[in-house]
Amino acid sequence: MNINYNFAFFDEDSKREIRRATLKAVAIPGYQVPFASREMPIARGWGTGGLQLTLSLVGKEDILKVIDQGSDESVNAVNIKKLIHLTTGIKVTDQTAEATIIQSRHRIPEIPLQAGQILVLQVPLPEPLRYYEPSEFETKKLHAEQEYSGAWLMLFEQIMNYKTLATGADHPVLVHDRYVMAPSPIPRFDNPKLNSSPALILLGAGREKKIYAVPPYTKVISLDFEDYPFRVESFQDKSCRLCAAKGVYLDEILDSITGETAYQCNDTSYCLQRLNGRLVG
């Protein structure tokens, strides 16, 4: 039994179904569009939502970059890149600026995205209201009625308990003044990059069977209070131990020999490009 897979794995009808949902998502920024969500050769929870988006969009001319938590070489990134390359034969790259489609798990690259690029974010939990409302039937109603007091209350309770907003990654955002959206667990550091992005940002949740989008130049605001403003992770006075970059998202690394804490660019391709002198600044 010898079987050949179609270009980009799926049969063409499946791709079309995903693109239809994607178009609807672009038309209603921040709204979670249900879609059938096929099972993929990689595991649910490992980026199948993003992968389906990428496979439905990819053409023979596309150049693909895949990152996982900032790294082009992490398990998940390698795995997904390999599968897409295997079923399409398209060119892959590490360079953010060169890519036409960037699939990412939990990071927006440091190099600003450009018009014409598509950023595909992998989403584990698309529902920003799930924390306080376990039922999907109920959260759908809350979104429809724009009833978001729970989301504000959640933040308010954090301030009451900890005197500060205590969200980690996945700090909820308000999209186009209408829908509260989970930005996928990108760090708060990346939230501002969603606002008025020149690139199309698509978010895919495979296991939860949802696609949503932030179209180019859409207003995206992180939820906060006037007296407790939204703050990104602080890496004040810290810089990358390799390329000396400041003002980027840093990984905290414990030196096993000296026992000291050091910092390093989380975006590995950005760091490499700086080290190789291809980026200034």
- The residues assigned a catalytic role are 30, 240, 243, 265, 271
C-alpha span between 7 and 44 (Å, rounded):
22
What are 250's strand-pairing partners?
265
Residue 5 in the binding site for other proteins (CB under 8 A): yes
Exactly one of 30, 200, 209, 223 binds other proteins (CB under 8 A); that residue is 209
Measured from the CB of residue 184, what is the shortest distance to other proteins in angstroms? 10
Q: What phi, psi does 52 have (nearest 5°)? A: -65, -40
Q: Binding residue for other proteins (CB under 8 A) from 35, 148, 179, 212?
A: 35
From 67-75, 113-121, 195-203, 214-222, span contacting other proteins (CB under 8 A): 67-75
CA–CA–CA angle 72, 74, 77 (5° rounding)? 65
Nearer to other proteins, 45 or 216 (CB): 45
Stretch that binds other proteins, among 31-39, 113-121, 175-183, 217-225 (CB under 8 A): 31-39
Token code pair at residue 195:
């606002």
Q: Does 109 bind other proteins (CB under 8 A)?
A: no
Among 136, 146, 247, 278, binds other proteins (CB under 8 A): 136
**Cα–Cα nearest to 65, from 29, 35, 108:** 108
Q: If you count DSSP H runs as helices and E runs as strands, how many of each does the chain have, helices first?
A: 7, 12
Residue choice 99, 189, 200, 222 for contact with other proteins (CB under 8 A): 189
Q: Do 222 and 208 touch, CB atoms closer than 8 A?
A: no
Residue 197 binding other proteins, by CB under 8 A: no
Select the span of 22-30, 58-66, 110-118, 180-188 touching other proteins (CB under 8 A).
180-188
The DSSP annotation for 236-249 comes to TT---TTT---SS-
Shortest distance, position 249 Cβ to other proteins, whole Å: 7
249 part of the interface to other proteins, by CB under 8 A:
yes
Residue with the two structure tokens 């953010």: 96
Closer residue to other proteins in complex, CB, 62/190: 190
**What residues have CB less than 8 Å from 132, skipping those under 6 apart?**
150, 153, 154
In the chain, which ranges are continuous DSSP H helix? 12-27, 48-57, 75-88, 136-144, 149-162, 191-194, 268-275
Q: Is 185 in the site for other proteins (CB under 8 A)?
A: yes
